[in-house]
A and B are shown apart, each in its own frame.
Chain A
Amino acid sequence: MPISFKEVSYTYSPKTPFAYEALKGVNVNFTEGKITAIIGSTGSGKTTLVQHLNALLLPSAGEIEVLDRKIKANIPVKDLKSLRKMVGLVFQFPEYQLFEETILKDVCFGPLNFGIEPQEAIKISKEMLRLVGLDESYDERSPLELSGGQKRKVAIAGILAINPQILVLDEPVAGLDPQSSKAMMKLFVELNRRYNKTILIVTHNMEHVLAYSDDVVVVDQGSVIRHVTKDEFFMDDDILNELKIAPPAIINVKAMLKAKGIELKGHHLDLESLTDAIVKEIW
């Protein structure tokens, strides 16, 4: 089923002196069942784009199809609740949304709101807290006592507890330590591979794009300018240069060697293949 944008535009504060067109006739088809990385510089429209997926923002023009639902400009969305159960959105700063007195209650809020029985909601919430790496000792603590990174984990557990079919993550690991980031990204991959969840991740981290995504969508000045597979993306030196994107370390090494006169043949997107190429070239 489609997850598509057709000629979608969005203007903030329309008809005022502050009007700002953040999306300009966007056309894109996200592939169901894949992990798609959405990249682009700050202010390019990435967050505006993904906030349309659960009708948090409604398009000023155009149409969005999310599985069996259609969201059109100027038409109120019916049964918003079921759409939001289907599309779970983790905001850029989810930790600002924690409000309950205990961490467990905070995670339970979503499932209870969607009609899950209290006992079952508690069970699911505990599972999700363990999944993001917070043990039982956290259940009864106040979310306000946690560090920034731990708050983020609670917020992600809260969305996972709703069990959405599409998971939209806006910079989900910014501010997490490297191992927590890795564990969280691996969790998203597992949710994709094992439970067939469609995952859209807005990120600035090219190492994560390389390691965990299937497809890459590039947003620039309110338009989608590329939609390619990860391999196509990282093998295309022109895109990386054009977008002034700092490439992942593996690709950077190749460029550094080339600048010093050692040209590795082929494309190398993992450490094994890179080291093989280096051995062949210099040994």
Chain B
Amino acid sequence: MNILEIKDLSFSYDDKSDAVDQASFTIAKGSYTTIIGQNGSGKSTIAKLVIGLLEKKAGTIIVDGLELSSETIDKIRQKVGIVFQNPDNQFIGATVSDDIAFGLENHCVDPKEMDDIIHHFADEVNMLDYLQHEPTKLSGGQKQRVAIAGVLAMAPNILIFDEATSMLDPRGKKEINDLIDEIHEENDMTIISITHDIEEVVHSDHVIVLSEGKVIMEGKPEVVLAKEKELKALSLDVPFAYKLNKALGLKGIKLKEKIHMERLVDELCQLALKK
């Protein structure tokens, strides 16, 4: 079943050229989709259109069976949560607890229930010990975890991460990537991740490649990421496993695996055993 359907979607910032140009794709419920493309290809614009932060010029957006319009926008915003790139720009509360409460207050959640909800989601992102901490006392990864808790508290059906780890140090990045995997697997949450991290794409179920606002390629990472020429033409990279596979091939070692490093290492081990 598709939880998100985008059909012939267009948007222009300046009425001259389209930042999103008749883009169409669908996202299956419970899947982990990555969206890649060079800077200015329309990735973040599509995310903003889906949550109604920008108004489309043409096309349709259907979220969980509901078409986005001025009448349905509030309902759709409850279904789609988004976490942005810069952890400092989305921390609204004076403390972690206040920050998670912000969305709940906006949705008039009964204050008696609020404490339980805040505790539950702070625990889910492993921030229960920090509820009274101020944002200045948190690392980038911790701030992103609070942002994720705030979004999860709204019980969305889809979580969009707009380059949510690109500002973080390697430890923060791993922390958030592990948390996204956990939320995806345990809650069967639909994840859409806009990313430049090709290794994250390797581990997703589905990848959509954008260029100049258009969907240029989409499919399983094994298929899309093996198209080196096309990706390079779009200023995109291939996974390290692909480069290693190619370099070893030139030296006479032909391997099947091109995308997953773990599988490629396993293949090398089998060859070593045969030696």
Contact = CB atoms under 8 A, between A and B. Distances in A.
Interface of A: 18, 40-43, 93, 145-150, 171, 174-181, 204, 206, 244-246, 249-250, 252-253, 256-257, 260-262, 271-272, 274-276, 278-279, 281-283
Given A253-B244, A275-B251, 6 more contacts: A147-B39, A177-B38, A177-B236, A178-B237, A278-B248, A283-B252
B39 A174 contact: no
Contacts of B247: 271-272, 274-275
B40 A256 contact: no
B contact residues, range:
35 or more
B116 interface: no
21 contacts: A18-B136, A40-B169, A42-B140, A42-B168, A42-B169, A43-B139, A176-B39, A177-B236, A178-B196, A178-B236, A180-B38, A180-B39, A246-B170, A249-B261, A257-B269, A262-B269, A275-B244, A275-B247, A276-B251, A278-B253, A283-B275
Contacts of A272: 247
Interface of B: 13-14, 37-40, 44, 85-86, 136, 139-141, 163, 166-174, 196, 198, 232, 235-237, 240, 243-244, 247-248, 250-253, 261-262, 265-266, 268-269, 271-272, 275
B243 A271 contact: yes
B4 to A, nearest CB: 22
B163 A175 contact: yes
A45 B128 CA distance: 26
A180 B141 contact: no
A257 B268 contact: yes
A148 B85 contact: yes
Contact of B141 (A42, A206, A253): A42
Nearest to A279: B251
B196 A279 contact: no
Nearest to A46: B169
A79 to B, nearest CB: 33
A282 B253 contact: yes
Interface centre among A40, A250, A260 (most CB of B within 10 A): A260
Contacts of B236: 177-179
Nearest to A41: B169
B248 A93 contact: no
B170 A204 contact: yes
Given A42-B141, A282-B253, A149 B40 contact: yes
Nearest to A179: B235
Contact of B265 (A150, A250, A260, A276): A260
Contacts of B141: 42
Contact of B196 (A146, A150, A176, A278): A176
A41 B268 contact: no
A178 B166 CA distance: 12
Given A261-B269, A275-B244, A275-B251, A253 B261 contact: yes
